[in-house]
Structure 1
Amino acid sequence: MFTKYKQKAEMRLIGDNVEPLQVNVKANIILPPSFYWFKKLSLPVKSVHKIKKLLPSLFESFIPPGEYSYSVYKEGEFFYAFAYDDKAIIDQLAKKGLLLTQIEGVYFAQSEFSNSDQDIILDDAKVLHVKDGTVITIPREWVKDAKEIDLTNFILSKHKINLKEYGHIIKTDKLYKFAVVLLIFTFITFGKYFFVHHEVQEIQEKYSRLFTQYSLLPTMMQNRSVLKHYESVYKRQIKLRQIFAQLISLKLPNGVKLSAIKAQDKTVSAEFTAEDVKSIDALQNLLSKITNVQVQKQSNVLHVEAAL
């Protein structure tokens, strides 16, 4: 049996200088303070969820105008709040040769190095320095014992952020409003679907009862064929009755009588007999007023035929 081997993600601390990076697998990126704004807050609020709503106003006078995302977590009595520009970070990482598809996770230096007691070399010009629990950058020439950090076995915190590639185009609040509208529309659509589905089931049940009650054939096509046949029979019977009624209701001349009448597949035939030819002629004139009737005279016998 084969097992799928998943490579461990690399870890990179990104410096402020624009230097291309090479990654062989996906990388966890740690960003220095130049990529975000940070505030350590003590507020009479217990829930992180509640303070998230306050973050835009808390940073409003602190950062330049723009479209920002916000993150916050709590340690002890303090809230650690961050504001960052997704697009600016994505653009800077792209300049260093890193695409979002190559990034496993993004972290801030504040959440990863705030407990460090050692200055960490960031690049040729700067180091990361912790002052009163806040990670800042200072010129490298200010310290002599800064060291490069080995991230091979470094354990990251749980404070990962997710960069929104189109966060600068669509505001989160507008996206939520759109999602709510879409959700309402979905509920209405599903409601209509279930209503129509229920109506269809009722109609199908009525059809089933009718089919059983009147012993109908299994398919509508068969039933339509039967209906067409009986409609044809009905029309023939109506025409047959009309012809019979016309022939029987004739006011026959004296000495003339209806001696025979019969219906065949497509015709109705009748036979009138008379005591003399003169009476037959009078009847022939009378029958000429009836349309679609053919008359044939033989001596004192008159043969009549009408098509159905």
Structure 2
Amino acid sequence: MNTILAIIIALATSVNSLGVRSLIVNGKGGGHVAIGFHLAETLSLDQGHQVTILQNDDVDFTQTPFNAYANLPSNVQIVMKSFDSTFSYPFKDLEFDFVFDNNSKDPTGPVESALLKSNPCKQRYTFVGSAGIYEKPDSLPHNSPLNESMPINTKKPAAQFEAALSSTSIPHILFRCQYIYGPLCSKNYLDYFTYRIKNMLPLPIPSPGTQIASLTDVRDVAYQLSCVCTSLPPTGSIFNTGTFNDLKHSYVDIAEMIGDGLNKTPDVKLIDPEIKTDFPFRAKEFFVKSDKSVKEFDNFGGGEKKLKNYIPEIISSFDARDPTVDTSKDSVAISA
């Protein structure tokens, strides 16, 4: 262990001795990294936890959300480690009350296997996984959500990690996320809509356009996860993440909301869902039911953030980034 890392861990041990200790394991990219940032804020500010983020060091600190780490509260410590074959669990002399694994997938990977062997928490190990492991039954009617009892694809790494974690004695909770938007998110799903509507271009949407999307503000996801600490669900509990109060948005609804924000009418073109485009969501309906957490978490009321209210910020972010959006597949899809 190098000297700098030893000092950071010693500091974390000293600070964390003052209260509830939580560890957030954060990866280097994808939609989940923003969850880790907002969760650290929520746990430290709202619940008074002493939080340690174990961060993959293979990141660009000029990019979001890593460029905002300096703004985290003083009771959040950052420990940088390489998540490669040289990884070893750095907190062997420090036990956490709660662990939020926002990185692990394949249970045989160096970080994943080390976490499973270390049994690093006293109360709950929360795995932040993916709703992408669900296998939607062909018999499921249109506009019907996937619930936690649905079958899953056991070949996917996230499902394999769930199984590996469930086979241990670690008290654990499983979360399955879908599409996330909001501050510091690195994935901008809604650029697809915003670019085309802003530039008055045709907007290809897979037919029938009434498919529902599970779009959730990242701050609501972070708060939902934090409720594990106060509600202490039974070990093995499974929850879909999502904003129960703001679930019923179809693909066409999303286009119309962004159009309203831009003061433009979307030129929606319904296309064959079998044709591959750059559409950011699944062509065939695939959305989750998220009310289980409302019933079982004492403090989670279903989320407070609404997509409609965030549209101005989505447009402002789009304008500031001025992204290049590829529309080369649009004409073929529309004319098919």
TM range (shorter): under 0.3
TM-score of the superposed pair, with normalisation by structure 2: 0.20
Structure number with bigger Rg: 1
TM-score of the superposed pair, with normalisation by structure 1: 0.22
Higher relative contact order (CA 8 A, sep 6+): 2
